[in-house]
Amino acid sequence: MADVLPLVEARLRTALGEPDARAAVTFLGTDRIEVLRFQEGDIVRYATLGMSAQPMSEPTAVLADPVEGPRAELVLSVRSGLADTDKALRPLAVLAASPQVEGLIVAPGASLDVGEPLWPGAPFTSVLVAEPGGLVEDLELDEPLDPVRFLPLLPMTPNEAAWKRVHGAQALQERWLTNGTDLRDPSRMSVPLA
């Protein structure tokens, strides 16, 4: 079975350019997760590398299937120079390790919460997982492996996360769109939810 991660890194480089920094985090009982930083103009993107090494499996599965199951990496895009967003590396690695640690499947529409600000002073403790395919195309793998999907993360304030639990991801995204919310602003306020 081919190692997936070199293919994933090559896809990230093709889509986002050369990373200008990388950091690695290893949690007890998990594979190493790297976070790569890509700078493009005034946008900085953080992409995980390592989450897709193993397929995600249902939390109810007795044994994780080593071959079949969804694979993904996470991508966070923010405006650079407005906050110390490089401190988001560890929270991103925590989110990327969650399928191994908690046995969950990360999919579009899901909320992921780190329980603390994503970076110092951030008004966000959680993210909404958005639809893949816009920024980085899915990476097709040889059968029977599922493709690797690159899932954008949209930071949510605690109020937005609570509103999303009641009304759903689509309704929150429509609210952001209607209000012209700059989802890349690392210090933005909550969208009006009334």
CB 139 within 8 A of CB 53: no
Tokens of 107: 């999919």
Paired residues of 154 in beta bridges = 128
Report the 3 state secondary structure along the chain: CCCHHHHHHHHHHHHHCCCCEEEEECCCCCCCEEEEEEEECCEEEEEEECHHHCCCCCCCCCCCCCCCCCEEEEEEEEECCCCCHHHHHHHHHHHHHHHHHHCCCCCCCCEEECCCCCCCCCCCCEEEECCCCCCCCCECCCCCCCCEEEEEEEEECHHHHHHHHHHCHHHHHHHHHHCCCCCCCCCCCCCCCC
- Is pTM beyond 0.85? Reply is yes
Q: pLDDT of 54-73, one tens digit each?
A: 898 876 666 666 678 899 99
pLDDT computed for residue 71 by the predictor: 95
The ranges of the chain with pLDDT < 50 are: 1
Round to whole Å and give the CA distance between 116 and 123.
10
- pLDDT value at residue 59: 67
Instruction: Note whether 188 and 181 are within 8 A (CB).
Output: yes
- For position 161, what pLDDT does the model report? 96
The amino acid occupying position 109 is G
Cα separation, 163 vs 169, in Å, equals: 9
- Tell me, what's the pLDDT at 2? 54
Residue 67 pLDDT? 75
- Is residue 139 a contact partner of residue 147, using CB atoms and an 8 Å limit? yes
Q: Which pLDDT value is given to residue 1?
A: 43
